Structure formats: structure tokens, C-alpha cells
Amino acid sequence: MEAAARHALNFIDTLNETPVAATVDHSLLRQRLGRALADDGVPAEQVIEELVADVDGGIIGSAGGRFFAWVMGGALPSAIAADWLTAAWDQNAAMCSSGPAAAVVEEVAGEWLKQILGLPRRSSFAFVTGCQMAHATCLAAARHFLLARRDWNVEEQGMSGAPAIRILSGDQRHASIDRAVRLLGFGTESIERLPTDSDGRLPADVLAAALEKNSSAPAIVLLQAGEINIGAYDSFTTLIPIARRHQAWVHVDGAFGLWAAASPRFRHCVEGIELADSWATDGHKWLNVPFDSGYAFIAHPEAHRASMSIRAAYLKHDPTVRDQIDWNPDWSRRARGFSTYAALRELGRSGVAALIDRCSDHAREIVAGIGRLPGAEVLWEPVINQGLVRFLDRAGRDHDRRTDEVIAAIVNTGEAFFGGTTWRGMRAMRVSVCNWRTSEEDVRRTIDAVSKASSL
Ligand SMILES: *Cc1c(COP(=O)(O)O)cnc(C)c1O
């Protein structure tokens, strides 16, 4: 364990000098790691030393400050350290009786999260593996709530023969919504895809017309706080009251964008969000907690509990405490509340706000800096921490190909790491900043690297 701590610290200390991209390919990693399963074990220290040596060059520097692909947070020192302790303590955070401190830490951190995200105080919550499972948890509660109102007990009777639930969503939703819908037995065909406007938002008249088409059916309306490419926010103050008129359940995907609520500068983006019925977000993105860390919040604790709670003769419940098994889909589980608790204490309210503001500033600086380079074009100037640029083919023929080539060339330099996307029919390079480590110096190095790679 001391060797592992040494290697971990060395990895973190050298993030500034080592390439951000992987430097070895899969076949070499397979060659090194793909030993035959041995009959005899090897000493623990050898296992660790060889593991570290074998993965060398195959670890992407997403923990460092020049990684801007997907939406990936780094990890705060206290959150990493708390994560190490979580493994050492090895609590089964299923119930309070199997890990009292783990249960209380979740209880406390859950309340903190609601405060910092501006969510209703009486909402229930679950610490899950990520936003994907937060969607599944929230939509399970929605399913219970909507069907119970029609005298259908979905936990007992299942989905077959149940009143059909409409699911209305803008066409820019994250695909994890679709999978949650699949897992819960709705089927993706039950999603009605509504056209969003040019800023990626669901127009009020479109939602109203869609709901009115079949206004007696139970419905879930999916809204977004931070769309994956441009960070767009739906207008909660106008859309949620429309959904309410039709007694629809409103679920918000706020995987990273919900964190705007923690910043006085950006809180206006999420105005009215507290009117929704459920919210999903991540700890491992903008809060900079290590993976796996997501949070589900539900404004109807009874529906939440009814959809998740389970009893077995060998479990010991104490009605005066919060048993996690009543609120999340896992049975045995990691005590993942510790690292969230640590991150929130390390940052405090003002630290979280500063993190949100700083990342957003850096995103704007990077996009603006790239925009000044010859042959580069800004497609979306960041409002929060997400922006888009592309690179123009000098011959004026294939900007999409040129954009993908430049992305690959930047990644190849090892100086910075970006990913691509298709947006409004164009290939684009995504700029997503959500790591506490990203500094002014990282911004400068990144723009330099893009400048060099795009001038080739
Ligand atoms: C990342 C993301 C998700 C999925 O979250 P995971 O933590 O990867 O499960 C869902 N929605 C949006 C908008 C995201 O950015």
C-alpha cells in the first residue's frame, strides 16, 4: 500500500510533464497485462509494482489540467484521499448497521448537496455510480408515482398491461436517458422526440402542443441543465409550469450543468429548477470527486422509497437512521459518500462557486484563443464550461475532415486532449473544462499546442 501511495503521488506530481494522451497501443497493453491466469499467487507488492509498470503509457492524463474531451472532472486531493480510505475501511454501505459512519456521511453530504444545488429541502436522494444510474433511479420513482395515481402498483404488477407513460424530450438529450428508459421497461419508442431551437432548448409552444395531443396520459417531461455539446439550459420557469398543468413528472438531466446553481454568477441558468420532480447529476464531473459518483434527487420521497426499498430476513434495519438500500438500486455497495463529503468540505460553498467560475472562464479563454488562430472558427462561445470550435479546410472542401485531422494532431502532441462531435451537421471540436487543476498556464500551453497542430 505504501508503494501504491508512492506511485499515485508520483503520477499526480508529474501530470504536467507527461503526455496527456496514451503513448502505447492496446496490443502492447494486452501483451503486457494478458498473462495466463496463474495457479499460484504472487506477493502483493509485486502485483502492484508490475501493475504500475504494465499500464505505463496506457493511462490517459484526464486527471491533469489539459484534458478537455467528453465531460470529465479531475479529483480533488481530499476526495482522492477519502477514496483511498473508503477502500481501506471497506464498509458495505448498504445499511446503517453495516457501516454507521458511511450511512451518516451520506445523510450529511446529501443535505449539503441539496443546499448547494438549490434543491427542495425535503427531497430524497441517492448516491449512485453516475448520472446514468441517477436517471434510472429518478425515472423508477417517476414510474411508481405516475402509475400509483392510476391504481397500478408497478413494483408488483410490472409494466406489462400498465397504463402507457408518455416520455417527452428534446432531441438533444444525452443517450444515458435512453438507456435508463430501456432498463425500466418503457422502451425507447415511448420517447417522443421534440425539436429544440437553434440554441438547443425546448420551445414552450412545442412542449405545450405535444402535451395537449394526449393530455390524459401519464407523462414524464425530460429537461436539460447543461446539454453535452454547448451546455444549453432549458427554460425551467416556462416549461415546468406547462408540464405541471398536465400533471407530468419533470426530470432534469443536470450531469454537470446543475452545478451552475452553486455559483452566484451562473445561478440564473437554472432559475426555476427547484420546481422539477427529480434531478440527476454527477460528483465525478464538476465537483471533482473520483469516479464512480453520481447523485439522484427526488421531490417525492415516498415514491422514491417505494420504487427502491427492499427487505430481507437477514437485514437489520433501524427506523431512526437512513439505510441507503431504501434509496438506491444497489445492494452491497461502496461507501462513496466519503469522497463527496471530503470534496465539499475542502471547497466549501465559495470554493465550489470559484471552481465553476474558473472552469467557465478557462473554457471561454481557450475557445477565444483558438478562435484567433488562422483557419479556426468558433462555433459556440461557452456560456458555462462547454464550447465548440472547428478547423477550416484551406481548399474550402472538407471542413469536417480537416477538423477531425486537427483534433487527432493535437491529441498526438500529448500537450492537450480534445474530442470531436457532430453539431448542427458539422464536425466540431469540443472544449469542456471541468478540472480544478486547469490553470492559466494550462490554457496558454493548450492554445499553443492547438496553434502548432493546426498550422501543419
Ligand atoms: C456525462 C453525462 C451523462 C451520463 O453521466 P455518467 O456519469 O457518465 O453516467 C448524462 N447526461 C449528461 C448531460 C452528461 O454530460
Q: Ligand 1 centroid vs 451 CA: distance in angstroms? A: 30
Q: Check residue 189 and give its pLDDT.
A: 95
The best mutation among 72, 128, 138, 174 to test binding of ligand 1, ranked by most ligand atoms within 8 Å of the C-beta, falls on 174
Length of the chain: 456
Write the CA distances from 161 to 46, 177, 258, 374, integer angstroms. Answer: 57, 23, 36, 60
> Residue 316: is its pLDDT beyond 90?
no
Q: Which residue blocks in 335-439 are alpha helix, DSSP H?
A: 337-371, 399-413
pTM above 0.85, yes or no: yes
CA of 377 to the centre of ligand 1 (A): 27
From CA 190, how far away is CA 242, in angstroms rounded? 20
Helix extents (H) in 34-125: 44-54, 77-89, 100-117
- If you search the block for the grid coordinates 496553434, which residue do you land on? 451
Residue 104 has a pLDDT of 97
Question: Which residue has the least CA distance to atom 5 on ligand 1?
Answer: 131
Give the count of beta carbons closer than 10 Å to the beta carbon of residue 319. Answer: 5
Instruction: Look at residue 456 and tell me whether its pLDDT is greater than 90.
Output: no
- Cα(275)–Cα(139) distance, rounded to whole angstroms? 16
Can you tell me the distance from the alpha carbon of 275 to that of 225, in angstroms, rounded to the nearest whole number?
A: 13
Q: Are 308 and 326 in contact (CB under 8 A)?
A: yes
How far does residue 161's CA lie from ligand 1's centre (Å)? 31
CA distance 195 to 176: 19
Proportion of the chain above pLDDT 70, given as a percent: 100
The pLDDT tens digits of the residues spanning 393-437 come to 999 999 999 999 999 999 999 999 999 999 999 999 999 999 999
User: What distance in Å separates the CA atoms of residue 186 and residue 190, rounded to the nearest whole number?
Assistant: 6
Cell 490554457 maps to which residue?
443
The mean pLDDT of the chain is 97
| Mean pLDDT, residues 234-261 taken together | 98
Residue 255 Cα, ligand 1 centroid: separation in angstroms? 5
pLDDT reported for residue 124? 98
Ligand 1 centroid–CA 287 distance in Å is 13
Mutate to test the pocket of ligand 1, among 252, 282, 286, 288 (most ligand atoms within 8 A of CB): 282
Among 350, 356, 348, 329, CA closest to 433: 356
pLDDT at 319: 86
Report the separation in Å between the CA atom of 132 and the middle of ligand 1, taken as the mean of its atom positions. Answer: 6
Helix, coil or strand: residue 167? strand
Q: Which residue from 136, 117, 154, 108 is spatially nearest to 306, judged by alpha carbons? A: 154
332: confidence class by pLDDT, cuts 50, 70, 90:
very high
User: What domains are defined for the chain?
Assistant: 80-344 (3.40.640.10)
Q: Order across the sheet with 191-194: list the strands.
A: 124-128, 294-298, 278-282, 249-253, 219-224, 166-170, 191-194
343 grid coordinates: 470534496
Distance 374 CA to ligand 1 centre (A): 33
Residue nearest to atom 14 of ligand 1 (CA): 255
Residues 6+ apart with CB under 8 A from 142: 220, 249, 251, 277, 278, 303
Confidence of residue 155 (pLDDT cuts 50, 70, 90): very high
Quote the percentage of the chain above a pLDDT of 90: 97
Alpha carbon nearest to ligand 1 atom 12, residue: 255
Which grid cell sits at 447? 492554445
What pLDDT, on the 0 to 100 scale, is given for residue 298?
98
pLDDT at 161: 96
Residue 175 has pLDDT above 90, yes or no: yes
> Which pLDDT value is given to residue 315?
83
> Distance, CA 32 to ligand 1 centroid (Å)?
32
Please compute the mean of the pLDDT values over residues 307-332 and round it to a whole number: 91
From 132, 181, 293, give the residue whose CB has the most ligand 1 atoms within 8 Å, as the site to mutate.
Answer: 132
- 206, with CB counted inside 10 A (0-12, 13-18, 19+), is middle
pLDDT band at 313 (very low <50, low <70, confident <90, very high): confident
Number of the ligand 1 atom closest to the C-alpha atom of 174: 11
Q: Which residues sit with their C-beta closer than 6 Å to ligand 1?
A: 71, 130-132, 174, 176, 226, 228, 253, 255-256, 282, 294
